[in-house]
Structure 1
């Protein structure tokens, strides 16, 4: 193939080299052939079918392809160097085995050795190669760090060309996202202040990638997030929440979320940047990811303290989150669901704020409509947080028909173990506070033993003080159901049953006990008439 490429290049240059010397003709033919070769290598590597076939090759063949391209990175012709790097980037981007072959061939030091002196096209292509390799694993990203690429990428962040800055920022993000150690290496290389400058540039694409990289750095630890904050990132990120570009807003909201999640202090700094109420408009955005990331940011703030949750309530955040849950489906709902749970968990008043804002029905709808177990589990958890504070809170949850829905999910054989655990916990939290008889009574006939003890426990609290409830408990079959329960002597459940039985005359309890009717019939049969 190489010989054919050389011949083709020679033919292309024949007309333009008639006046050249013999040596010049040979060099020109070589250059033309190499250009055709590396261009075809680059173009072939961009064809998915070609690479899909190639990944079945043995490792030695990968190495041979890489070795053919390696010397071309040092060619005197810039277009050959750039196109060779592009071919390597496309190969490395496609498959981890190809990326490993590039690293093992020792190409990385060669790729970056003269990077600051190269033209902008080569710099962008070199950054693409580094990104393509780094994305696959922490080990490959570490190999890039060890060859000194971070320093070169940081130099590229200072380049005049926005495309070079974008490529360097993107590569740094792919390195930083893997783990705290790699992220710290990016910070130590001095990238963060330059990334903050990048988000202030006018080019939207550069803003997006720089914000994404700041998000990747911030997510690992409070210390890394604090480094980003100290560079002045929050104020500039907050200003971009209202930007009309949806993809930029996604990254900005993500970065602020990754900062706010770590501690109360960081969350307060984000709030102090005056992101409310403008962030609430993101919950009505036409872009689903903007909605999701906006709700995620609110969630990461709400989870820390009652004061921050109260601030969100006062800003109209709870009502906006509830509307967002009702207007979308699937995983987009998840951060909003968790936001309501976090707000409600803090205090009775905040839980009542969720109730007053009509947050219970959308959560119940999520339990019924959603197919993903982790979303149902989040909804169950949130409902449990709302209803666990007092009898009044539990009554609001109960009258929304939440308890039978939770019970159905718990008893569904298709529910995952985690979902069953979450629904059981939610039922326990709500039932232990619920004194609303109409909601408790239907559960008595369907609940499994693991849930029954909580229901019986509530009846033992209600019946001694409510004569109407005692009568209704008999007429609806509740007392009969209690007598059918087999409890361990001395157990808490047996104590609950004894308390309920003590609310009724002894003959009534005997009448509804199992086998009592047979005993009466036997007495009838054995009775001797008095004539």
Structure 2
């Protein structure tokens, strides 16, 4: 065989390898092919090609592996069991930028599925190499490394700490300052994933100077970047008063309020989440948000969106109102109660309705004035029906019951309470009748209205245990009226009257 023929054999072999990896990488983009590839033993065939002498074959093999591992945890597990990770980590440090991107993609695809698979990446020493990639000249390599590190950190505090210990945080903070938008997004996302688990991890991100840079990007025109920036600031602020105050000191107010009007739903939601995480800590932080116009802005936002986008805003109003009478009144003055009432009627998801009921309860629990502001929106019958609805989740039933009790214990606005006399179960009825027994002895106009509206008649129909608190309340109400009036509205009285008519002997 001539030298030319020998070279031809090698050329054909190289062409066949190239064609094989390119075809597999292409097939791996379509879910319907995955099982067939898996059954054909594609993993063991790709593995040696990661060390191929031809760089494009190495890169394409890594890309194919990444696409397969990304698809499900079985395939990701096969990458781990096939001893492919050490090979990738070794090559990650040695190879060109195209290979580095592909190798980081495989690590991300494996690590995203579960803490166990992410731990396998940590165990094979990948973190140090990925952190080195954060200093690469090529922004695409930095991005791929940041993405892999974020996916590892998001699972739990231990994995997040491992990413921190590898020295990733200061470099991720440098990455958010780079000009490339895609790199900024992924670095901000990774910082968010690191911060979310504990105050200590969030403090590490703060100590690296992240907050000032994140705060400057709140008004960046790129919606996806804004989402990640707001998320990272939320994950930092949620842990403690000190961390929340650091966000405020970075002058995110009133700038962040503009994000509540963003056309991107996730930007709106993440902005409301950030405001909620700050407001929940102290009355002082809530007051600062009120002073910046935050309550009115959140109420407008809730009115302009639906579903889960509303949820953080609804909860934020509840947290603000929970702190004090004055803060609850600020929610009322900004017309928060009618908007929450609309949410309670419009939304179909139980967890959103439960949060709305909780927020209304926090507003109404302070004074009779607060309770009246809630009651006049006719929300009490809605809360009652959700509490009594057998299909309501346990959480919704608990939250609506608690909200009703909070409001009823302060509510002296009787027209709003009367509808509940007809439908409320005994445990709620006790609170309703209790409020009537407080108000009627001191208000003659209310006593008259209570008779003409049918309230007194309804009270006589209530079957209370002798000696119970409910019976005491009923006795107090009955003592507000002449005995014959009470008798007139008691069950069976009309029958007794008719019987007297029948037995009456006319005097002729």
- How does the TM-score come out when normalised to structure 1? 0.92
Distance in 1 (alpha carbons) for counterparts of 2:351 and 2:73: 31
Distance in 1 (alpha carbons) for counterparts of 2:385 and 2:300: 26
1:373 corresponds in structure 2 to 350
Distance in 2 (alpha carbons) for counterparts of 1:476 and 1:255: 55
Matched, 1:485 2:468: no
2:255 corresponds in structure 1 to 278
2:119 corresponds in structure 1 to 142
Matched, 1:39 2:16: no
1:221 to 198, 203, 222: 198
Matched, 1:159 2:126: no
2:274 to 269, 280, 297: 297
Please state how far the C-alpha of 1:73 moved relative to its aligned partner. Answer: 1.1
Q: RMSD of aligned C-alpha atoms?
A: 1.7
Query: Any stretches of 5+ residues in structure 2 without a counterpart?
Result: none
1:317 corresponds in structure 2 to 294
> Counterparts of 1:327-366 in structure 2 under 5 Å?
327-366=304-343
Distance in 1 (alpha carbons) for counterparts of 2:414 and 2:75: 67
Number of matched residues? Answer: 508
Q: Secondary structure at the match of 1:424?
A: helix
Residues 135-163 of structure 1, C-alpha deviations (whole Å, 9 max, x = no match): 11111111111111111101111111000
2:235 corresponds in structure 1 to 258
2:412 corresponds in structure 1 to 435
Please state how far the C-alpha of 1:80 moved relative to its aligned partner. Answer: 1.2
Please state how far the C-alpha of 1:273 moved relative to its aligned partner. Answer: 0.3
Q: Secondary structure at the match of 2:245?
A: helix
Distance in 2 (alpha carbons) for counterparts of 1:479 and 1:184: 66
Which is worse superposed, 264-273 or 397-406? 397-406
Residues 314-338 of structure 1, C-alpha deviations (whole Å, 9 max, x = no match): 0000110011011111111111111
Q: Secondary structure at the match of 1:310?
A: helix
Distance 1:468 1:53, change over 3 A: farther
Distance 1:500 1:290, change over 3 A: same
Distance 1:26 1:263, change over 3 A: same
2:177 corresponds in structure 1 to 200
Matched, 1:406 2:389: no
Please state how far the C-alpha of 1:476 moved relative to its aligned partner. Answer: 1.6
Matched, 1:120 2:97: yes
Please state how far the C-alpha of 1:407 moved relative to its aligned partner. Answer: 2.4
Please state how far the C-alpha of 1:191 moved relative to its aligned partner. Answer: 0.6
Distance in 2 (alpha carbons) for counterparts of 1:148 and 1:414: 51
1:236 corresponds in structure 2 to 213
1:67 to 28, 31, 44: 44
Please state how far the C-alpha of 1:498 moved relative to its aligned partner. Answer: 1.4
Please state how far the C-alpha of 1:114 moved relative to its aligned partner. Answer: 2.9
Distance in 1 (alpha carbons) for counterparts of 2:26 and 2:380: 61
Please state how far the C-alpha of 1:29 moved relative to its aligned partner. Answer: 2.6
> Counterparts of 1:173-184 in structure 2 under 5 Å?
173-184=150-161
Please state how far the C-alpha of 1:342 moved relative to its aligned partner. Answer: 0.7
Q: Secondary structure at the match of 1:267?
A: helix
2:364 corresponds in structure 1 to 387
- How does the TM-score come out when normalised to structure 2? 0.97
Please state how far the C-alpha of 1:43 moved relative to its aligned partner. Answer: 1.3
1:415 to 389, 392, 407: 392
Distance in 2 (alpha carbons) for counterparts of 1:179 and 1:237: 23
Distance in 2 (alpha carbons) for counterparts of 1:259 and 1:418: 28
Which is worse superposed, 46-55 or 173-182? 46-55
